[in-house]
Amino acid sequence: MYDKLAVVLVPVQDSLFELEERRYLGDGAWIEYRSGWLADADDLFEALLPGVPWHAERRQMYDRVVDVPRLVSFHDLTREDPPHPQLAFLRGRLNDIYAGELGEPFTTVGLCLYRDGSDSVAWHGDTIGRGRTEDTMVAIISLGASRNFALRPRGGGGPSLRLPLGHGDLLVMGGSCQRTWEHSVLKTSAPSGPRVSIQFRPRDVR
């Protein structure tokens, strides 16, 4: 187990959380975007790059299996400690803010490493497991290089959004966002350094 004294050292700007700043997207979907929510993100970013057990995934693409263009690491926090103690603290802070509205706590942390602008994630909505309500929340903390986080209505028919997630920014997607909208991190030809995405989710959401 981690030294609990070490867990309290991440400054978080609670004053940035104002519900009236929530943006409603229609059909029960909403987002909250907080620039610089993690006030001191440098140390965590520098620790996660070498400290997380990153691994590559592969997927079927038509008639062949290809590498997923990013590295990942997933942890069920009901069964194991996160790869860095500050992630346990951040999970607790987000639960303090959102678990009451969500009706349950965040229980998992997924991490993605985008090594440069050629790493990406395709359009998708997170998978919601059977036996739970369709509405949920996903909280994402972005560290490192700024990358555009894109959202669009599922099935088209409306404008898309481009959110430039920067170092220490927080994005929360809530309500029906995972089933009525899609999101992605698109490739870019512009020079880009590494970026770490930290995603907190409740049970049976992946």
Which domains are delineated in the chain?
A: 21-201 (2.60.120.590)
* Cα distances (Å, whole numbers) of residue 202 to 19, 99, 103, 138: 20, 9, 10, 8
Predicted pLDDT at 18: 43
Predicted pLDDT at 60: 59
Predicted pLDDT at 1: 40
- Contact 53/46 with Cβ under 8 angstroms? no
9 pLDDT above the threshold of 60: no
Predicted pLDDT at 2: 36
Span 163-186, mean pLDDT? Answer: 95
32-51 pLDDT tens trace: 999 999 988 999 999 999 99
What is the C-alpha to C-alpha distance for residues 41 and 36, in angstroms, rounded to an integer?
9
164-175 pLDDT tens trace: 999 999 999 999
- What is the overall mean pLDDT for the chain? 87
